[in-house]
Amino acid sequence: MTTLTLYFDGLCEPVNPGGIACFGWLLLDERGQVVQEGNGVEARGPDATNNVAEWAALERGLRAAAALRPESLEIRGDSQLVINQLTGSWRMNAVHLRPYRERCLYLLRGCQWAARWIPREQNEAADALSRKAYRAEALAEAEEKRWAKVPEVLPRLQPLGDGAYSVGGVYVVDVHAGRCTCPDFTKRHTADFPLRCKHLLAAEEAERLAARDAA
Q: How far is the CB of 143 from Zn ion (least distance, A)?
A: 12
Binding string, 152-191, against Zn ion, x = CB under 5 A? ----------------------------x-x--x------
CB of 198 to Zn ion, least distance (A): 6
- Cα(4)–Cα(79) distance, integer angstroms: 19
Residues found in the chain: 215
Distance of closest approach, residue 173 Cβ to Zn ion, in angstroms: 6
Binding span for Zn ion by CB under 5 A among 37-45, 54-62, 82-90, 193-201? 193-201
Rounded Cα distance between 37 and 47, Å, is 25
In whole angstroms, give the CA distance from residue 178 to residue 199.
11
Q: Which is nearer to Zn ion, 60 or 199 (CB)?
A: 199
- How many contiguous H segments (helices) and E segments (strands) does the chain have? 7, 9
Measured from the Cβ of residue 157, the count of other Cβ atoms closer than 10 Å reads 17
Nearest Cα neighbor of 174 from 202, 148, 193, 146 is: 202
The minimum distance between CB 166 and Zn ion, in angstroms, equals 12
Nearer to Zn ion, 131 or 196 (CB): 196
* Cβ 213 to Zn ion shortest distance, Å: 24
Contacts made by residues 155-162, CB under 8 angstroms, sequence distance 24+: 157/199, 157/202, 157/203, 157/206, 159/206
In the bound state with Zn ion, the residue whose beta carbon lies nearer, of 113 and 185, is 185
Name beta bridge partners: 22: 11, 41
Segment interacting with Zn ion, rule: CB under 5 A, options 77-85, 108-116, 135-143, 196-204: 196-204
Question: Residue 197 interacts with Zn ion (CB under 5 A)?
Answer: yes
Contact 156, 173 (CB under 8 A): no
User: Shortest gap between Cβ of 140 and Zn ion (angstroms)?
Assistant: 18
**Residue choice 52, 126, 199, 206 for contact with Zn ion (CB under 5 A):** 199
Binding-site ranges for Zn ion (CB under 5 A): 180, 182, 185, 197, 199
